[in-house]
Chain A
Amino acid sequence: MDEKTLIAAARQGDTHSFNQLVSHYQDMVYNVAYRILGDNEAAADASQETFLSAYQAVAKFKGGSFKAWLLRIATNACYDQLRVHQRRPTSSLEAIYTDSDPSSHFVNGHETPEEHTLRRELGQAIQQGIQTLPPDQRVTLVLSDVQGLSYNEIARLTNTSVGTVKSRLNRARTRLRDCLLEQGELLPARYRLRGEG
């Protein structure tokens, strides 16, 4: 069945059809949540909350991009989680900096153990850099550079103007770049920003 048929069935309360949509989008939602929150459990909670909210509100879905609609709900769920983490800053920071990147456990069959280690270190460095950004910049960066959404899509999704998206994205990238430059010596030589060129 195509997406429109599944959505129409889900609007009638067909849980099975909705769960087919869940299985198609759950990796995307989880990745966005993880990159924004930087914590496995918080990301899982936000993802579950996203699909539950989507199921409860699917009757109000007025057509258009289901992916964008889902990402909007996911972003709001992430903001909620961030608020919860802000109330418990100590545990949150501990979770962020001691939590290993789950992608490091995902071994690519074509890479050597050395390459796997390098990729893991890089993933951790980038994730730590993202965590230093303010929430709005973080969300914009993830939606643009991890999910590949356009400026217009991000502006609609976050209820802001394209100008604001441009500004937030430029600041986020510059700050992340500076963060990676500071960790330059820690990064594998292949990934050192100044080492190339």
Chain B
Amino acid sequence: MSFLRKKSEHEWAGETLSAYIDGELAGRERAQVEQHLKECQACAENLRTLRQTLALLKELPVIPAPRSFAVRPGVARPRPAPAPSAWGYGLLKGATAIAALLLVLLIGGDLALHVFGGPLVSWAPAAVAPEVALAPSYEADMEAAPMEEAPMLGQQKETEELQATPPENAQAVAPTAPAEPPAAYEMAEETATPPLRAGAGQPAGTPTAEGTPEPPSGAGAVESPETPTPVPAEPAPSPTAAEVIEATGPPPAATPAEEGEQRAVVPAPDETPQMLAMTDQVEGQVPGQTPPQPEGGAAPLSPLRLAEFVALGLLVVLVPATAVSAWWTRRTR
């Protein structure tokens, strides 16, 4: 026990020898060190060599400056105020923090909407809308200009698939779809793709999926109350949708087949953009037409997603700017 105490005292003395030499120890500590130095030969030797080291350091000559460091007139001016770079750095730092916080909040909100459902689904079925809503308008066109009886291979296959799986398709087009956002969203993507695939099988020179005009989806939805297909084009689960369900009942089994036929018609070689545009014009004159839905070519960005992109873009710009500003501020300080 006394060995440990002696060892710790030895270490303590070793750590305070420098301050002891400089006279920086208080009276009691000084007395303790002096007492220890009498008992410990190693510490006494340390003290002696430390004093010699200090003496050698103090013997170092003063080196004259190799040249004058005088400031040339006009080269620099006294700065009464902090450098603007420091001010700008603070501003950039704050802006970056705010942008980062905004992005986190937006992503959090987006995720929450995905998990718990909500307004997010309102724009998901909109991708389906144009295609599905075209159906009634093409019915009239089919009579005026009968299309070929045998659709192309890919189209026929799709039609068969659609006929073979009425419940799934019914779910996609039924008004109940908005109640289940993820399923509706997935189906929206599925149903949005066939025109593209069908377009790939078209002969050269015919209008492709990109080339086909995009009529307002809402027009067909109003014109064909007997078919439930246009109903999902409505933005959100609304009382109107519920009314439609009650009025029409569950979607008939024929509906998918009907839709399949219409799908087969869409990429038909005879169909020209002019014809479609004319059809749109006719439809546009129908009274009580609902406002046009977003374009069906690509899924529209929700305001939330748009805000996320804006915040991300801001961060991408602000982070390097802040880093450069920090470097410059440190350099000029």
Residues from chain B with a CB closer than 8 A to the CB of A50 are 69
| Bound CA–CA A123/B56 (angstroms) | 9
Q: Is A128 an interface residue (CB 8 A)?
A: no
**For residue B53, which residues in chain A have a CB less than 8 angstroms away from its CB?**
173, 176-177, 180, 193
Q: Hey, which bits of chain A sit against chain B, CB under 8 A?
A: 10-11, 13, 15-16, 18-19, 22-23, 26-27, 29-31, 34-35, 40, 44, 47-48, 50-52, 55-60, 102-103, 106, 108, 119, 122-123, 126, 141, 144-146, 151, 166-167, 169-170, 173-174, 176-177, 180-181, 191, 193-194, 196-197
B249 within 8 A of A: no
The 0/1 profile, CB within 8 Å of A marked 1, for residues 57-79 of chain B is 11111111111111111111111
Q: How far is the CA of A197 from the CA of B79 in the complex (A)?
A: 56
Would you give the shortest CB distance from A82 to chain B, in whole angstroms?
14
Q: Give the chain B neighbours of A103 by CB distance below 8 A.
A: 60-63
- With a cutoff of 8 Å between Cβ atoms, the chain B residues found around residue A169 in the complex are 18-19, 22
Cβ of B15 within 8 Å of any chain A Cβ, yes or no, is: yes
A residues within 8 A CB of B72?
A: 15
Q: List 13 A-B contacts (CB under 8 A).
A: A22-B69, A23-B70, A26-B68, A47-B65, A52-B76, A56-B76, A106-B61, A166-B18, A170-B15, A176-B53, A176-B57, A194-B49, A197-B48
Residues of chain A contacted by B14 (CB below 8 angstroms): 174
SS class, residues of chain B in contact with chain A: loop
Pair A15/B68 contact, Cβ less than 8 Å = no
Which range contains the number of B residues in contact with the other chain?
Answer: 35 or more
**A146 vs B209: C-alpha distance when bound (angstroms):** 83
Give residues in B with beta carbon < 8 Å to A: 14-19, 22, 24, 46, 48-50, 52-54, 56-80
Which residue on B lies nearest to A196, using beta carbons? B52
Q: Which of B61, B66, B71, B80 contacts A18 (CB 8 A)?
A: B71
Residue of A nearest to B82 (CB): A60
CB distance from B20 to the nearest CB of A (A): 10
Contacts of B78 in A (CB 8 A): 10-11, 13, 55-59
Which residues of chain B are within 8 angstroms of A126 by Cβ–Cβ distance? 56-57, 60
Q: Which residues of B contact A151 (CB under 8 A)?
A: 19, 22, 24
Chain A residues with CB under 8 A of B68: 22-23, 26
Given the complex of chains A and B, what is the CA–CA distance between A196 and B77 in angstroms? Answer: 54
- The interface residues of chain B lying within 8 Å CB-to-CB of A180 are 53, 56
